[in-house]
Amino acid sequence: MTFVVGENCIKCKFTDCVEVCPVDCFYEGPNFLVIHPDECIDCALCEPECPANAIFSEDELPADQQDFLALNTELAQIWPNITLRKAAPADAEEWNGKPGKRELLER
């Protein structure tokens, strides 16, 4: 099993989660983070660190976000690895919790 970054990370992109990951399985895009499912060891350390509550265990992924497992898998193959916490975007808090962000994902 793996953990999955869901829709609420889009445009928030807090990186608190990457700092606690013991296997460095996070990858960074322009406005979203993903978890590489083949590298995730299911330790659950990242989930409580996410200020946007955007990380889910695979079996607790909301029904309307099931496609995010495939999206995390796909984008982890092409985006660079991130291992250190960075400052969140200046408007991250404004985006936190806003619905309908899926179409704003930048690849």
For 38-68, the pLDDT digits (tens) are 999 999 999 999 999 999 999 999 999 999 9
* Domains of the chain, CATH where assigned: 3-87 (3.30.70.20)
Phi, psi of 68 (to 5 degrees): -70, -20
Could you say which DSSP state residue 81 is in?
A: B
8, 53 contact by CB (below 8 A): yes
Q: Is 82 left (phi over 0), alpha (psi -120 to 50) or beta?
A: beta
Matching residue, tokens 């659950």: 44
Residues 1-35 have pLDDT tens digits of: 999 999 999 999 999 999 999 999 999 999 999 99
pTM of the model: 0.97
